[in-house]
Amino acid sequence: MKKALSIFASGALALSLATSATAEDKRYIVTFKEGKGESVRSLVQQNGGRKALDVRNHNAMAAHLPAKALMALRRNPNVAFIEEDLKRYPLSQEVPYGIPMVQADQLSDLQAGNRTVCIIDSGYDLAHEDLSGNAVTGSNDPEGTGNWYEDQNGHGTHVAGTIAAMNNNAGVVGVMPNSNINLHIVKVFGADGWAYSSSLIAAAEDCAANGANVINMSLGGDRASFFERRGFDNLNKRGILSIAAAGNDGNTRHSYPASYNSVVSVAAIDSGKNIAGFSQQTNQVELAGPGVQVLSSIPTGSGQAATLEVAGAEVEAAAMTGTPIGTITGALEDCGTAESACVSAAGKICLIQRGNISFADKVLNCEAGGGVGAIIYNNVPGMLYGTHGGVETHIPSVGISDADGSALLTQLGASATIETEAQDYAYFNGTSMATPHVAGVAALVWSHYPNCSNSEIRTALHVTAEDLGDAGRDNAYGYGLVQAKAAFDYLAANGCTGSM
């Protein structure tokens, strides 16, 4: 994924930190002493700096500073401290099943109107059939990411669907599906999928100003920010529960804001309750949620669905993300792993094994040989959900399982038809997808016990999580899989303090 504050969706986006900017390019957070804001702003301008954002509640501003301005500010007694304004991006990957897994279907959301979940992300498709009827407000980021009720990236709409997709006999349902929860959307990510840490704190403050009890941040970056940590510490003291994705790098490095003590860090597991290979494992991980092959809403018409028929029989298939829309028929041709042009594929549909090169390159090599469609089968057990990664291809392409691929190798020459069409839902993978499961459960449980504090709800979720991995808390799963009904029952029996 990218380096900067990024959306956490593995295989799609990820909250990281930019490391290649020059001093002249860099943006900084300048925190000044009480009452000295105008003086510092003037100094920035006088030395060729450019203000980007005021963060007034924190006596700070974000600014693009050349070396001259940076040096002048560091010497000025009105400046408390300066640090680089780190980038943050969204986190994700591709798929669904998590609602019963976190026991959301065992707990009524009729009381959810007393809680507000704020989603800081890439926007919200207000026209979507599964989202349009929710109680939702929003704010546009002042830095030009566009309208909060539109989503050019898709990540935020997917996250929102996991929390609150409506029970309307269409699409999917979220943790709270009856349009009772209040949502507030702050759009910090545009189509490029990243933002700054100062923008994140400004967004979180906007959440607070709009009554947020829970903040969902499916995003992160690999460097800590003192300004950011202080901001989330302050929000925590004000009774807000902040929840963020642990990260998708599959290692033991910390990701931020998830790894601040005042933020709940969420790991991703699959449908078998196994830790996802991409999920970061650290001593800050607190809870786990479903994050592999999570099905949820995406901006209307932005996804692809597929059907595949071979010799008159239907074969389960998934459209490659980014594939063209259309229908094509041709004879089935074995193209191996398609690491070069499949010269025998003219007018045919290429059957290709996964491995060695990207899916997009395989499809392009099918095209180069005259192929009219591509079927890529897995080289490990299970369905293949793939993406072209933004590379333009011109023929329909789908993924299938390893077992179906082996079966089709015995049917070479048979007539195959691929049909791809637009759809409003997609499978994503990532700690980005696990995070809204936890945020949704936190708000759902809290709505039944609104007199509890944020820290008391947090403790209840720890105590009642389904222990996975090593006994007790561990760095992969934290305290375990979040459980809505178990947390509700715990608070009913023990009260907010756990000592009733």
Helix, strand, coil proportions of the chain in percent (round to 5)? Answer: 25, 30, 45
Report the SS3 class of residue 431.
helix
End-to-end CA separation in angstroms for the chain: 47
Spot the catalytic one: 128, 155, 158, 437.
Answer: 155
DSSP 228-265: HHHHHHHHHHTT-EEEEE--SSSSS---BTTTSTTEEE
Instruction: Tell me if residue 432 is catalytic.
Output: yes
The tokens describing 19, both together, are 């490391």
Instruction: Tell me if residue 130 is catalytic.
Output: no
Longest dimension (CA), the chain: 79
Distance CA 101, CA 95 (A): 14
Which secondary-structure segment (H or E) carries 405? Answer: helix 402-408
Report the SS3 class of residue 64.
strand
Residue found under tokens 């959307």: 185
The tokens describing 68, both together, are 């001259």
The total number of residues shown for the chain amounts to: 500
Spot the catalytic one: 109, 121, 130, 404.
Answer: 121
Exposure string over 131-148, b if 16+ CB within 10 A, otherwise e:
bbebebebbbbeeebbeb
Instruction: Tell me if residue 109 is catalytic.
Output: no
Spot the catalytic one: 270, 432, 447, 448.
Answer: 432
CA nearest to 316, candidates 408, 189, 202? 408
Q: Is the peptide bond before 257 cis (omega within 30 degrees of 0)?
A: yes
CA nearest to 53, candidates 227, 222, 215? 227
**Which residues does the annotation mark as catalytic?**
121, 155, 432
